[in-house]
Chains A and B, each alone.
Chain A
C-alpha cells in the first residue's frame, strides 16, 4: 500500500493507533492489582502493601542468569528514595526534587519529564526526597517539597491541576507517594521537625478540590486532645510522610503517624501526644477516625511510626484473622487486628532498652536511660520507613533492621518559632572511640568508616505468629532498602553498600548478588513487558533494571 499524502497518513495513523484503554488505570484495576502482576500500579504494589508479586519467571533456579538490561542515570545528586510505578510498559518515576519522568520500561529511554518548581520557602529536615507518584485514569499525582499536590497528564507530562495543601514557610512538605482510593487522592504532610500540625487529606482526583482533612492531633473538644498539655498540640508535629494502605472490604485506610514535636524533649509536651507514633484507621470517604493504636506514647526518641502498614489475612490461633503487621522504629514488631486495632502480638526484634516490654494492651513499659547513657535502638530506629514485604507463600514478614545501634540523647527546652526547626535538643550516635565516624542519615562516601560496631543491617524474616525471626541475613553496613518478594520465593533487597541481593525467601540463602556501587534507599519492584520479567532497583543516582539472559 502506498501512502499518497499526509492526510492519508493521518487516517492510517488513526486506524493503527490502538485504543489506549489499557492506559486508563481505573480504581477497579488498582483494587485487583495483584492479579495483573505485569504492572506495579501503586507505591507498594497493591493496596495491602505486601510488595509480593505473582511473577515467577525469575526463580531460585535461574536468578543467577540475571543481566543488566538498562540503566537510567539521575542528574540530581542526593539520596534517590523514589519508587517507580509501571503501567502497561511505561514506568513513572520521580527524581529530586520534584521531577516526574515517563520511561519506556523495556529500554529505559525517557518520553517526557515534568519539572515542578518549588517555592523558595520549601524546607525539609532530611533531604529533598520524593518517593513517587500515584495514578488514576490518565492522571499521575505527586506531592511536592513546597506542600503542593500536582495532577499530571500521564501521556504528555503536562500539569492538570496544582494545589497548595500546607504552608511551606511553616515547614509543611510532601515527600510520600499519594494513595488513590476510589476517586480521591490521599496525601499526608511531612514537617515533624518544624512544629507543624500533621494531617492526611483527600482531594478530588479530577479537580484537586479538598474532600476531607483529618488532623493527626485532635483539636480542643475532640477525643484525644486531653493527651496534650496547654497549647502543645498546635505545634506537636505528628506528620505522615509514608504512603498508607487500604482494605476495600473493611473500607479503611491505614496511616503511620510520625513523631511528636519537639522531637527529643518529651518532658516539654507531657501526655501521650495522640496520634503521634500511632497507626490510624480512617474512612476513605470522610476521613473519620475509626480506630488507632499508639506504639510510642510521649515519645522522646524520634520513633516515627511512618512504616508501611502491611495487611494480610492469616490464621491466628486457629481462626482466620485480618491482621496488620508492623515492624516499628521503636524496635518492636507488632501484629494488630486491622478491623478493630486490637493488639495481638508485640516482640522486640533488636535490642530495646527504652522500654522493658509491652503490657497486655501493647503499651510500652518505659525505662528511660540515665542522662548520658545510650538508648537502644538509636535515633534512626530498629527500622524506619523502608518498605517491608510479606509473602503469603512463606508466611514471613521481611524488613530491614539496624542492630547494635544506639544513641545518647540530650533533651533541651525548645521554643517554637514559625518555620524553624523545633527539635528539643539533640543526640549523638554511640561510637567505640570519641569522635569516631558515626552513621548518618545516608551514605555519601564509599568508605564505611563507621563500621559494623556502630551499627549494621540485617534482613529479618519475621514469623508473625511468634514474633521471632525465622532467619536473618546480616550485612556489614546498615540498610535503608525496602523488600520485594515473588511467587517464586525470591526476596530482593539492597543496602547502603550498594549490593543488590536475591535471597531465598524461605531460608535467607544468598542466591545472587550484584554490586551496583552506591546506596540502595528504595524498595525494588518487578514487572513484565512482552513476556519478559524485569526487576528494577535504584542505587545511588542510577536506576538499574535486570532481566534473565535471552
Chain B
C-alpha cells in the first residue's frame, strides 16, 4: 500500500503535480499551508510547549530522585537509628546490669552489716544477761552463805548451849580457856 502511494506520487510528479494531486483530491496549496502550519505547530510545540512538559517531567524526575534519596537517607537514618537504639539498648542493659550488680553488692553489704550489727548486739545482750546472771548467782550465794551462817550460828547456839548446860562441861571449858590464856 505504501509502495503504491509512492509510486503514484512519483508518477504524478513526473506527469504534472497538479494533475496528480487533483486526481488524488489533494489541493497543493492546502497541502503547503497544512505543511507550513504543521511546521509552525511543531516549532511552537518545540519552543514553548514541550519545554514546559519536559521541565515538568524533569522536575518530577528530580522530585522522584530527591524522594528516593530522602527515602534512602531516611532508610539509612532509620538503620543508623536502629543501630543507635540497639547500642543504647545494649548500653542501657549494661548499665542496668551494673546497677543490679551494684544494688546486689550494696544489699549484700547491708545484709552483712546488719548481720554483724545483730551479732554484736546479741553478743552484748548475752554478755549483759550473763553478767546479770553472774551477779544474781553471786547475790544468791552471798545470801545463801549468810543464811547458812545464821543457821549454823543458831544451831550451834542451841547445841552448844545444851552441851555446856552441864556445869562440868562449862567449867572444863573455862578452865581450858584460862589455861590457854596463861600460856
Q: Do A and B come from one complex?
A: no
A interface, CB within 8 angstroms of B: none
